Chains A and B, each alone.
Chain A
Amino acid sequence: MIFLTVSNVSKSFGGPPVVNDVSLDVMRGEFFALLGPSGCGKTTLLRMIAGFETPDRGTIAIDGEPMNAVPPHLRPTNMVFQSYAIFPHLNVFDNIAYGLRKLKLSKDQLHARVEAMLATVRLDGLGNRASDQLSGGQRQRVALARALVREPKVLLLDEPLGALDKRLRETMQVELRAIQRKVGITFLLVTHDQEEALSLSDRVAVMHQGRILQVADSRTLYERPNCREVADFIGEMNFFHATVREIAGGSASLNAGLLGLVTMPAANLAPGIKTDDHILLAIRPEHVRFAASGVAGDIAASTFLGERSHFHVRIAGRSEPVFVSGSVAPTGAVHLEFPPEKLIGLPASD
């Protein structure tokens, strides 16, 4: 069931559009991520949903109700700010209770709700702690609890884990996911960290220069990116120029330059690719294999990463190395094999 609808929303701050004709549907109870490099417009889109920015064009609706004319303090959304925005003059309890005061709950009810929320974010017993005596992780939890306790229809998270160190970030990722499952509220997360987006979310929208390039679940994004930008942004990818010669009977044959003539499943081609199109063939480093025969190359660099190693393989006629990831560790001259079923055909950007 579609819960949050963004339709043809555009926004500019005087210059080129920051958000350019974006449409998006988020389901009820979904953990949805907006992923993209900084400056791609994801935070602006989030702020428009929260009501802090007004779209130049387009509409935003939550649970069927149009939001464009609703000021931020009346929207059924709550936000976890990137800076956490913990009120410095209030302690933990009062920070969390902040958004409940207007509801005129009885003292017991208020206490019960705040204490329950403290337990949910595992801050039990810290209600009296002053806000300047909190660690980064605790501040993050307070910000989350303060927003969640209002039981918003949509919880907006703006780079919520960006300020935490790596170890804490990983712990919080697991917790955030568990909390979302527990409370069942729709989460909309903005992040530039692809790992975070892929591991947390049910679905991810990849944004680039104000536009949404692809909306899909993590696995699809990784295995079937629909354009070079998505493929490049999520994980590492090798690209080769190729020309489609024929598409017939579920398989496509291509002239792939350095890779020679390639026959691959037609389903691996992005929609819209036709015969004679110039395309990009993409393959993940872990799908390239060292073999007895194939494309000849030299290992230019290798990085040992524990269970796997990363290799940069130079091949004749190509300036950038081919990235290969594998557990074997050959040296010197090698041959590379590119399994056709792992190749993906993407439209050439130009």
Chain B
Amino acid sequence: MTQRQGGFKQQILRFGLRWTPPFSDNPAAKGGDVADNGRNAGEGYALLTPTLVVMGLALAAPLALMAVTSLKDQSGMGFAAGWTLDQYGAVLGRASYRLLFLRSVAISAVVTLVTVALAYPMAYFVAFHARRKFFWLVALTIPFWTSYLLRVFAWKIILGYGGVINSGLMRLHLIDQPLGVLLYNPFAVVVTLAHAWAAFAILPIYVSLEKIDRSLLEAASDLGDSALRRFLRITLPLSMPGVIGAAVLIFVPTTGDFVTPSLVGGPAGTMIANLIEVQFNGVGNWPLGAALSLVSMAMVAVIAGLFVASARAAAKAAR
């Protein structure tokens, strides 16, 4: 009998299972078995393999190449022998570069703020008041059916010297001369980017609003909250994951955007990506371009990380 039990136990172990008492209150029992989790993780990685291969080839390898390049020195058409940190010294040392970094972050921060602030009411409307949600969600993505480049050009036509706004105002005799302040400045960059990325803000906020159990809102009213207090105490905190997601989703790519500033930004609206582009395509200083890219990436990562951490801390403190 003992023999058989031992054999059975071994069999269990061989299958990587561990016996847990049924109906146990032990939380570890509910959490499942370590060996079991390990096996699931293995299966998970197996399923991810195609993705991992693509990511490795398309993301990790180029990044590694960039890192290597950034440690070189340009010499004619090729790289000089040996390794150097000179590029990083230049990136961090030169005031004009620092200004571009700062401006990129500032423009991007304003874009993020404006986009999220404008997207929230739209997402709120679709989540809480729209009858045909699917129609609205599709309608909100219609701008994305045209290419990004075309959308930027469209803003150029709207904001330009002889553009829609200026000619319209002239025709109405509200102005005598076309306004020059509309295009080729940071304002134009903010407007264009905010429009271009709107759907990326609306969708995550919509999802987090849609997930909120409506009985929670009724409970808040029932407990004495006016509509405004209820929004501030329940709806807003519970939709924060969507807001944070939207902010990161917009901040990260817009900081490195290069099409919009080069088309509508003018000299005052130039951003870091324009400088990087010039290093690779214009002056042909690949190591400097690579160093600028990597520093820019690190900066965005740090800022986004700090933002998420502080938003979480704020949410916790608001309890």
Contact = CB atoms under 8 A, between A and B. Distances in A.
B315 interface: yes
Interface stretch (A11-19, A77-85, A162-170, A178-186): A77-85
Contacts of B221: 51-52, 71-73
B316 to A, nearest CB: 9
Contacts of A89: 237-238, 315, 319
Given A83-B213, A85-B213, A87-B216, A98 B223 contact: yes
A74 B226 CA distance: 9
A102 interface: yes
- Majority-rule SS of B interface residues: helix
B294 interface: no
A85 B218 contact: yes
Nearest to A99: B223
A85 B224 contact: no
Given A78-B223, A79-B222, A85 B215 contact: yes
Contacts of A150: 223-224
B225 interface: yes
A78 B222 contact: yes
Nearest to B229: A102
A141 interface: no
A94 interface: yes
Kindly state the interface size class of chain A when it binds its partner.
Answer: 20 to 34
A126 interface: no
Contacts of B315: 89
B215 to A, nearest CB: 4
Nearest to A88: B238
Interface residues of B, number: 20
B225 A90 contact: no
Contacts of A51: 221
A73 B225 contact: yes
B66 interface: no
Nearest to A74: B224
Nearest to B230: A73
Contacts of A99: 223-224
A208 interface: no
A146 interface: yes
A81 to B, nearest CB: 5
Contacts of B223: 73, 78, 98-99, 146-147, 150
A78 B319 CA distance: 22
A243 interface: no
B219 A73 contact: no
A98 B234 CA distance: 11
Contacts of A90: 319
Nearest to A75: B222
Q: Which of B219, B225, B234, B237 has the largest count of A CB atoms less than 10 A from its CB? A: B219
Q: Which of B220, B221, B230 has the largest count of A CB atoms less than 10 A from its CB? A: B221
Given A52-B218, A85-B218, A85-B219, A73 B319 contact: no
Nearest to B215: A85
B296 to A, nearest CB: 35
A279 interface: no
Nearest to B226: A73
Contacts of A74: 224
A165 B319 CA distance: 32
Contacts of B215: 81-83, 85
B9 to A, nearest CB: 33
B217 to A, nearest CB: 9
A89 B212 CA distance: 11
A146 B223 CA distance: 8
A134 to B, nearest CB: 14
A44 interface: no
Nearest to B218: A52
Nearest to A90: B319
Q: Which 4 A-B pairs have the closest CB atoms?
A: A99-B223, A85-B219, A85-B215, A72-B221
A3 to B, nearest CB: 19
A51 B222 CA distance: 9
A102 B224 contact: yes
Contacts of A191: none
Nearest to B234: A87
A78 B224 CA distance: 9
A189 interface: no
Given A89-B319, A91-B319, A99-B223, A72 B218 contact: yes
27 contacts: A50-B222, A51-B221, A52-B221, A71-B221, A73-B221, A73-B222, A73-B223, A73-B225, A73-B226, A74-B224, A78-B222, A78-B223, A83-B213, A85-B216, A87-B216, A87-B219, A88-B238, A89-B238, A89-B315, A89-B319, A98-B220, A98-B223, A102-B224, A102-B225, A102-B229, A146-B223, A150-B224
Contacts of B229: 102
B219 A94 contact: no
A73 B220 CA distance: 8
A87 B219 CA distance: 9
Contacts of B218: 52, 72, 79, 81, 85
A78 B225 CA distance: 12
Contacts of A72: 218, 221-222
